[in-house]
Homo-oligomer: A and B are copies of this chain.
Amino acid sequence: MSVVRGGIAISLDGYVAGPNQTQENPLGEGGESLHEWALDTEAFQRMHGREGGTRNADSRAFEVAEEGIGAYVMGRKMFGPSGEWDPEWTGWWGDEPPFGGPVFVLTHHDREPLELGATTFTFVTDGIESALEQARSAAGDQGVAIAGGGSAIRQYLAAGLLDELFLHVAPVVLGGGVALFEGVDDARLEQAEVLAGEGATHIRYRVLR
C-alpha cells in the first residue's frame, strides 16, 4: 500500500505550536519561529506563486515532503481559524492553494466541496479513518500526506495509521504549547533520511508497528 506521511515543524522541546494559541495567533506564542527556515526557500516561494528564494536543503525538504503524494488530509485549524465555523471561509491560501490536488479537511461541519484552482477541499465529518480512506482512494497508487496541524498528525500516529513522520526540527525552544507526542509516547520510530538544512534539520522517520 502507498505511504501515509505526516509532516510538521517541531521545536527542540517537542512542540509544534507555542503556548496560548488564539484565533488571531493559531501558532501560539513564538510558534512562527518554527517556520522561519521555510520562508526564504525557493520551494516556499514557488508554492505561493512567487519566483526566487534560496535553493538549499531546506527548500529540498518541501520537495521530499511532496514526493509521491497524491492527496492531502488536514485538520480544521490548518484549513481555517478556530472559533466559530465560517461557511464562507476558503482557506489561508487565496485562489490558488499550493496543494494542486484533493485535500480532505477534518471538521464537524458539513459543507459542499470547494474547488480553488487545481485544489479541491472536501470536508469530512465522520472521522480520521474515513478521511484517510477517501484520500487513499483519491490518491490512487500515490501516497497521502497528513499536512497538519499537530493535533491531526498526533491522532493519526496514535491510531497507528502513519507510515512515516517527517519532522522539521527547528532551532527553537517554546517551553509549552501543542506537544506532538502527548499521549503517544509508545511511538516507535526509525530514521529513514536526514536533510541538513541551514535553518532547520529535516528528519524523515519510518513509524514501526
| Residue in contact with A194 in the complex, picked from B179, B187, B201, CB distance below 8 Å | B201
Known: A13-B181, A196-B196. A189 touches B173 (CB 8 A): yes
Interface pair B171/A205, CB less than 8 Å apart = yes
Q: Which residues of B contact A12 (CB under 8 A)?
A: 10, 14, 167, 180-181, 189
A1-33 vs B: 1/0 string, CB under 8 Å? 000000000111110000000000000000000
| Residue of B whose beta carbon sits closest to that of A33 | B188
Bound-state Cα–Cα, A20 to B41, Å:
43
Is the C-beta of A203 less than 8 angstroms from some C-beta in chain B?
A: yes
- A10: chain B residues at CB < 8 Å are 12
B185 touches A176 (CB 8 A): yes
One complex includes copies of this chain to the number of 2
Check A171/B185 contact, CB under 8 A, given A13-B180, A14-B14: no
Residue A47, interface by CB 8 Å? no
Please encode chain A, from 168 to 180, with 1 for each CB lying within 8 Å of some chain B CB and 0 for all others: 0101111110011
A198 to chain B, nearest CB (A): 7
Residues of A contacting B: mostly: loop
Verify B175–A185 contact, CB threshold 8 A. Answer: yes
Docked complex Cα distance between A164 and B181 (Å): 27
Minimum CB–CB distance for A201 against chain B, Å:
5
Asked if A173 and B185 make an inter-chain contact with CB atoms under 8 angstroms apart, the answer reads: yes
Q: How far is the CA of A14 from the CA of B13 in the complex (A)?
A: 4
Residues of B within 8 A of A184 (CB): 173
Q: State in angstroms the CA–CA spacing of A55 and B12 once bound together.
A: 27
Q: Are A199 and B191 in contact (CB under 8 A)?
A: yes
Chain B neighbourhood of A14, CB < 8 A: 11-14
Cα distance, A109 to B21, chains bound together (Å) = 46
Binding site for B on A (CB under 8 A): 10-14, 167, 169, 171-176, 179-181, 184-187, 189-191, 194, 196-201, 203, 205
